[in-house]
Structure 1
Amino acid sequence: MNQDHANLYDRLGRREGITRITRELIKNHMANPLVNIRYGQVDDMDRLERNVIDFFCMGAGGPETYGGRDMLTTHRGMNISEQEFVTVVDDAMAALQTCGVDAPVRNEVLAILWSLKGEVVRV
């Protein structure tokens, strides 16, 4: 398939690529002193990883179904700051780059992540 006409899911490497990106992202979060405490409090990291992968796959146009909570419900009451949100986005951009995702595709993901800010920050 021509990469210019492939959907975001295909351009990210389908489930296999998104799984690789998600694992790198979680690794980045765990190493990041601004957000690692939030991830250290997660009871079931395997479930978190599966939910992130399914959410990312479905949001990128893949066939997966996301069965977790919506963004607003997930983040309500966590009092996530703008700085934490930007840090998480930076970790995501670094994961995409580490996994060899081209700049135009990274920018597309960046726009999607930024569009979620109102459902995450100080809700």
Structure 2
Amino acid sequence: MTKTLFERLGSRDGISNIVDDTVENHMNNPHVSARFLPYKDKPQHLAIIKQHTIDFFSAGSGGPVTYKGKDMVTAHTGMNISPEEYMHVIDDIFMALDKNSIDEETKKDVLAILWSLKSMIISK
């Protein structure tokens, strides 16, 4: 039997680790850090964003989770994220996937999802 993407990402704990590592990468990435560093002073708000991200990727990867956050367009409207910033975010996610020893086939599946979300996030 084939594992779901959720399982291949390490289920809830694995996705939580990937999200934590991704946010840390964003904060250290000079191309996108200005969007994330202000959350260091708002740890409760950052925790909410991380939880929504964990739930979003858990539900979207076949996990037994119901995502209750905003849809991607609503969540990103007004942010005016550039295509370059989006690519840096993808790079940061892939660094986190590598750190968490995610295999190449699973990374391809993650990339397909990220690419499918692109038009819902860029320049909104």
Q: Which moved more, 1:33-42 or 1:107-116?
A: 33-42
How many angstroms apart in 1 are the aligned matches of 2:64 and 2:27? 29
Give 2:23's aligned residue: 26
The answer on 1:39 being equivalent to 2:39 is no
Give 2:74's aligned residue: 73
Equivalence map 1:1-123=2 (5 Å): 2=1, 5-42=2-39, 43=42, 44-123=45-124
- TM-score, normalization by structure 2: 0.93
State the shift of 1:41 in Å: 3.3
How many angstroms apart in 1 are the aligned matches of 2:114 and 2:100? 18
| Percentage identity across paired residues of the two chains | 43
State the shift of 1:40 in Å: 2.2
Q: What secondary structure sits across from 2:105 in the alignment? A: helix
Root-mean-square deviation (CA), in Å?
1.0
Q: What secondary structure sits across from 2:6 in the alignment? A: helix
Deviations 1:37-66 (A, max 9, x none): 111234411111111101110010101111
Q: Give the unaligned 5+ runs of structure 2.
A: none
How many angstroms apart in 1 are the aligned matches of 2:38 and 2:63? 30
Runs of 4+ in 1 over 4 A off after TM superposition: none
